[in-house]
């Protein structure tokens, strides 16, 4: 007799993405993923699945590729309300005259709640199942992600200076760890230390984070070497490049998620590799803010784990991981002068398994494997834009638009069903976004 | 009494895009475009339009931005059937082992007909109303574009060597001009000389093209300085850089559409400006093939006309002008190190008016102005991804996906109506694409 399970997802192509370093992802044709209690129970050929399992929820996705849910490794999700507020400006004018004043005036629990809903709706619609966030009011990040059933790693934000979220390093640390404690029974809400950047957090609090990170096995999510200016100022102020300083402070470990990394010398790439640091590559943000280019192919070749992120909506201006994958592949090629660099297969790996590994969650998510959480994304390739299909991985990275994402499951719960968001009221989310825009533009 | 007209299109935002060199495009709120006999009759505020005009076709696009139809300045449309055939390979292996053999084996009138339908369906769905094509079987490009009501500039292809379309320069020229003559009464099908590249067409035929282009006022559509390798070989073989050679042959005129131009020295930018040459910028193709980067902001600053193209689907792998605009803006910034470079406003201008000007059709298309053809694209900005809207031009370039293109008119005829293609059978187009894929993969 066949076993009853919660869901069977049969797809034309299942692309499990392996974590074994083999980057040419195998493609399983006419395959099914059996899901029960939020977990992947089995992968098997579709013609055989119904002889072994039965279910009330059989998704037959005859035109679709099924991939691991995408992991967005670097966001400031609530900033979605500032999407397009100030574009095409020099970095410091953008920050000092627009973003920082707007943040000082507007960021609050309520603002972040509305911004997070807008961001999470956008992320699910493009196939993202996990995001790694760094922003004010992480209490709201945890709350909204939990409420909407989104998998999140919440950044325990820290600066040297006070903000709406804390008074200084000790206060930030205390609040962050308290929040983490509040969510210790919510496995989908994980936490990372999130010291903003080398130039905004001083040595003592960074040392404390290094110690706690090692003791507790908590990731450290930090902007590092985003621009040449940052590195130059770091050298001037401390006598060493920021990476060197972080190494001396004990932060160069497999827990570190070093975001941006557009400035790297060869010895530094070896340092990252030897210490198991993950690099969070945000190509569209680096391009739009003219920050520089992360040497992704060199890092891949050296064996450094790469993850992909969109950065915040104020500097992208979307949270579209499909577009980010294409940008990563394209930028990697023109930067190295080699059309082989940053292949579609490598980039899909980075956007799934690479992200999971950066978060220390590669045993739970990041690939379609038995025993892992059912974080899954289905992409319809039977469109004018993606046909014909020679290699579904190429079509996903180079042709698929977010509108082709048809189904998304997080921990086995369906969040996008035939392109319809489940449990999120789009009209209300948009209405709230407009409320904030009118307030910010003085039209309230 | 009010005047009866064929259509009134009322949009939340009308962005006419001016051709006067003022690149910060004005945005007209709650405006209407009055269309009759395929032509823009008037632009006026929506609250007043119904007191002056009446119509049976009033489109009320309350969430939309209306822009001039996008002009894709460089395509090999029929190559859509090779979309994703061979990715992530070095340029010469890609060409010599994959694309050229596939072309020799498969390209025919029938192949091109099916590939063109696939391409034109894709182009209309992303808001493109005009494409400038260079490929084998231009007879089919003209025929399919005409049949589907797409505006096209058809390349009169030329190589030194024979191909499926001709035996040599004289034959190519004869066939091209004959085809142009066949379509002389079809104003939406225009023609350009399309000598493939400096390294594939020798001096004598290029001189003839220069003469004919000047006499007849026909554009010349040509790959120029696509890679450093091309320039180096040109220097070696002719003793001069290809641009210099084209200048001596009389091709540096306002008729020239120089495609790619990733290799430019400062004096060459002045040469382009002084001679009124247009540059066709194809950022995604240049990135994906690792060809190099066109110095777009420098060209804009120098006053050179810039147009935007996707290139063919084998090297992109889409014909999505919205994504191409974003790539142009982002690449321009990281390349120059200035977040101000290649602003959304400049890039929207390039993708509309700039393209029209390159084609010598700036009096007919490229902006929403009285007397011009009604080539119009409506984009729904009331989505999770584009809300809130601070500046609709920013949202179009940085956030809008092709799925937000809701309506497209070409010469006043509606080609996309509420996201539905008019007059194109998607299922049949996809079925034919699959037919060719199976044949090419040996599964026929």
Measured between CB atoms, which of B85, B284, B290 is closest to A339? B290
pLDDT for A25: 76
Sign for the CA dihedral angle at B110, B112, B115, B119 comes to: negative
Q: Look up residue A413 and give its two tokens.
A: 């719960």
Q: Look up residue A280 and give its two tokens.
A: 């969070």
SS3 content of chain B, % helix, strand, coil (to 5): 40, 25, 35
Rounded Cα gap, residues B102 and A421, in angstroms: 42
Measured between CB atoms, which of A286, A317, A338 is closest to B290? A338
Q: Are residues B149 and B52 in the same domain?
A: no
What is the average pLDDT value for chain B, to the nearest integer?
96
Q: Are residues A391 and A340 in the same domain?
A: no
pLDDT for A373: 98
Three-state DSSP at B211 gives helix
Q: Are residues A227 and A305 in the same domain?
A: yes
* pLDDT at residue A202 tops 80: yes
Search chain B and give the residue with CA nearest A91: B339
Per DSSP, which regions of A126-285 are E strands?
128-133, 151-158, 189-195, 220-224, 256-260, 278-281
Asked whether residue B390 is domain-assigned, the answer is yes
Kindly determine whether residue B333 and residue A395, on different chains, have CB atoms separated by under 8 Å. no
pLDDT for B21: 57
Rounded Cα gap, residues B77 and B112, in angstroms: 8
Least confident of A9-23, A72-86, A284-298, B190-204: A9-23
pLDDT for A19: 74
Sort out which chain A residues have CB atoms less than 8 A from B290's CB and list them: 333-334, 336-339, 341
Sort out which chain B residues have CB atoms less than 8 A from A86's CB and list them: 390
Q: Residue B192, preceding bond cis, omega within 30 degrees? A: no
B 217-236 residues with CB < 8 A to A:
none
- For residue B40, the domain's CATH number is 2.30.40.10
Rounded Cα gap, residues A259 and A309, in angstroms: 9
Sort out which chain A residues have CB atoms less than 8 A from B91's CB and list them: 339
Best CA proximity match to B80, nearest among A399, A79, A281: A399
Q: Residue A442's pLDDT band (boundaries 50, 70, 90)?
A: confident
Q: Are residues A407 and A292 in the same domain?
A: no
Asked whether residue A366 is domain-assigned, the answer is no
Place of tokens 């999130």: A194
Q: Are residues A237 and A305 in the same domain?
A: yes
* pLDDT at residue A1 tops 80: no
Q: Are residues B44 and B110 in the same domain?
A: no
pLDDT digits (tens, 9 = 90+) for B307-358: 999 999 999 999 999 999 999 999 999 999 999 999 999 999 999 999 999 9
Selected residue of B383, B388, B408 to mutate for chain A interface (largest A Cβ count, 10 A)? B388
Measured between CB atoms, which of B333, B403, B436 is closest to A403? B403
Rounded Cα gap, residues A436 and A413, in angstroms: 31
> What dihedral do alpha carbons B392, B397, B398, B401 form, nearest 10°?
100
pLDDT for B444: 45
Q: Are residues A180 and A329 in the same domain?
A: yes
SS3 per residue for chain A: CCEEECEEEEEEEECCCCCCCCCCCCCEEEEEEEEECCEEEEEEEHHHHHHHEEECCEEEEEEEEEEECEEEEEECHHHHHHCCCCCCCCHHHHHHHHHHHHHHHHCCHHHHHHHHHHHHHHHHHCCEEEEEECCCCHHHHHHHHHHHCCEEEEEEEECCCCECCECCHHHHHHHHHHHHHHCCCCCCEEEEEEECCCCCCCHHHHHHHHHHHHHHCCCEEEEECCCHHHHHHHHHHHCCCHHHHHHHCCCCCCCEEEEECCCCCHHHHHHHHHHCCEEEECHHHHHHCCCCCCCHHHHHHHCCEEEECCCCHHHCCCCCHHHHHHHHHHHHHHHHCCCCCCCHHHHHHHHHHHHHHHCCCCCCCCCCCCCCECCEEEEECCCCCCCCCCCHHHHHHHCCCHHHEEEEEECCEEEEECCEECCCCHHHHHHHHHHHHHHHCCCC
pLDDT for B267: 94
Asked whether residue B366 is domain-assigned, the answer is no
Determine how many CB atoms are found less than 10 A away from the CB of residue B178: 11
Q: Residue A444's pLDDT band (boundaries 50, 70, 90)?
A: very low
Rounded Cα gap, residues B28 and B11, in angstroms: 9
Q: Are residues B190 and B294 in the same domain?
A: yes
The shortest C-alpha distance from A169 to chain B (Å) reads 32
Asked whether residue A416 is domain-assigned, the answer is no
Q: Residue B266's pLDDT band (boundaries 50, 70, 90)?
A: confident
Q: Are residues A216 and A295 in the same domain?
A: yes
Q: Are residues A311 and A341 in the same domain?
A: yes
Rounded Cα gap, residues B224 and A442, in angstroms: 50
Residue A436 host element (H or E): helix A426-440
- Please give the backbone phi and psi of residue A77, each rounded to the nearest 5 degrees, phi first: -55, -45
Whether A81 and A437 have beta carbons less than 8 Å apart is answered as yes
Residue B32 host element (H or E): strand B28-36
Selected residue of A62, A81, A119, A339 to mutate for chain B interface (largest B Cβ count, 10 A)? A339
Measured between CB atoms, which of A122, A398, A401 is closest to B384? A122
B337 touches chain A (CB under 8 A): yes
Last residue of a domain, one of A296, A326, A359: A359
pLDDT for B374: 98
* pLDDT at residue A321 tops 70: yes
* DSSP secondary structure, B417-436, as one string: ETTEESS--HHHHHHHHHHH
Determine how many CB atoms are found less than 10 A away from the CB of residue B350: 31
pLDDT digits (tens, 9 = 90+) for A406-425: 999 999 999 999 999 999 99
Best CA proximity match to B350, nearest among B15, B13, B26, B17: B17
Give the pairing of strands A256-260 and A220-224: parallel
Q: Residue B364's pLDDT band (boundaries 50, 70, 90)?
A: very high
Mean pLDDT of B369-397: 98
Rounded Cα gap, residues A122 and A128, in angstroms: 9
Prediction ipTM score: 0.97
Mean pLDDT of B385-411: 98
Asked whether residue B427 is domain-assigned, the answer is no
Rounded Cα gap, residues B39 and A138, in angstroms: 54
Asked whether residue B167 is domain-assigned, the answer is yes
The shortest C-alpha distance from A141 to chain B (Å) reads 18
Rounded Cα gap, residues A24 and A16, in angstroms: 11
Asked whether residue B431 is domain-assigned, the answer is no
**Count of the separate structural domains present in chain A:** 2
Rounded Cα gap, residues A235 and A245, in angstroms: 10
pLDDT for B23: 58
Kindly determine whether residue B401 and residue A399, on different chains, have CB atoms separated by under 8 Å. no
- For residue B285, the domain's CATH number is 3.20.20.140
Q: Residue A22's pLDDT band (boundaries 50, 70, 90)?
A: low
Asked whether residue B429 is domain-assigned, the answer is no
B91 touches chain A (CB under 8 A): yes
Q: Are residues A74 and A62 in the same domain?
A: no
Search chain B and give the residue with CA nearest A390: B85
The shortest C-alpha distance from A93 to chain B (Å) reads 10
Mean pLDDT of B260-278: 96
Rounded Cα gap, residues B221 and A144, in angstroms: 53
Rounded Cα gap, residues B444 and B440, in angstroms: 8
B320 touches chain A (CB under 8 A): yes
Rounded Cα gap, residues B244 and B248, in angstroms: 6
pLDDT for A91: 79
What pTM does this model have? Answer: 0.98
pLDDT for B19: 73
Kindly determine whether residue A399 and residue B290, on different chains, have CB atoms separated by under 8 Å. no
Q: What is the CA radius of gyration of chain A?
A: 21
Question: Would you mind telling me the total number of residues written for chain A in this entry?
Answer: 444
Q: Are residues A127 and A238 in the same domain?
A: yes
Q: Residue B317, preceding bond cis, omega within 30 degrees? A: yes
A122 touches chain B (CB under 8 A): yes
Structural domain range at position B179:
70-359
Q: Look up residue B384 and give its two tokens.
A: 């999770």
Mean pLDDT of B6-28: 86
More confident residue, A266 or B233: B233
């Amino acid at each position: 007799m066949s076993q009853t399970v919660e869901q069977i997802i049969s797809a034309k192509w299942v692309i499990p993405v392996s974590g074994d370093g083999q980057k040419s992802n195998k493609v399983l044709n006419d395959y099914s993923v059996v899901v029960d209690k939020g977990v992947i129970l089995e992968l098997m050929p579709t013609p055989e699945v119904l002889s072994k399992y039965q279910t009330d929820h059989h998704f037959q996705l005859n035109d679709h590729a099924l991939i691991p849910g995408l992991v967005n490794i670097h966001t400031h999700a609530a900033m979605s309300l500032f999407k397009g507020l100030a574009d095409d400006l020099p970095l410091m004018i953008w920050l000092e005259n627009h973003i920082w004043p707007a943040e000082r005036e507007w960021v609050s629990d309520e603002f972040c709640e509305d911004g997070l809903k807008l961001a999470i709706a956008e992320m699910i619609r493009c196939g993202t199942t996990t995001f790694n966030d760094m922003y004010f009011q992480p209490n709201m990040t945890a709350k909204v992600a939990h409420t909407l059933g989104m998998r999140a790693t919440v950044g325990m934000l820290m600066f040297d200076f006070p903000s709406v979220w804390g008074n200084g390093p000790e206060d930030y640390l205390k609040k962050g760890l308290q929040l983490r404690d509040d969510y210790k029974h919510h496995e989908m809400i994980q936490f990372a230390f999130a010291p903003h950047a080398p130039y905004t957090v001083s040595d003592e609090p960074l040392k404390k984070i290094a110690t706690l990170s090692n003791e507790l096995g908590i990731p450290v999510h930090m902007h590092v070497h985003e621009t040449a200016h940052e590195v130059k100022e770091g050298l001037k102020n401390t006598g060493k490049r920021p990476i060197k300083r972080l190494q001396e402070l004990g932060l160069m470990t497999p827990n570190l998620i070093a975001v941006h990394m557009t400035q790297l010398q060869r010895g530094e790439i070896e340092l990252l590799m030897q210490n198991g640091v993950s690099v969070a590559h945000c190509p569209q943000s680096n391009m739009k803010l003219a920050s520089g280019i992360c040497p992704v192919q060199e890092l891949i070749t050296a064996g450094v784990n790469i993850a992909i992120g969109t950065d915040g909506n104020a500097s992208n201006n979307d949270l579209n991981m499909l577009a980010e994958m294409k940008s990563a592949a394209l930028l990697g090629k023109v930067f190295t002068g080699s059309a082989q660099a940053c292949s579609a297969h490598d980039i899909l790996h980075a956007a799934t398994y690479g992200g999971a590994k950066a978060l220390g969650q590669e045993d739970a998510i990041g690939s379609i494997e038995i025993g892992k959480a059912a974080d899954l994304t289905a992409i319809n390739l039977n469109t004018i834009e993606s046909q014909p299909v020679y290699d579904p991985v190429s079509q996903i990275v180079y042709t698929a638009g977010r509108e082709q994402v048809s189904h998304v499951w997080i921990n086995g719960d369906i969040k996008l069903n035939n392109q319809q968001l489940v449990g999120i009221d789009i009209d209300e989310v948009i209405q709230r976004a407009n409320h904030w825009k009118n307030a910010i533009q003085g039209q309230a």
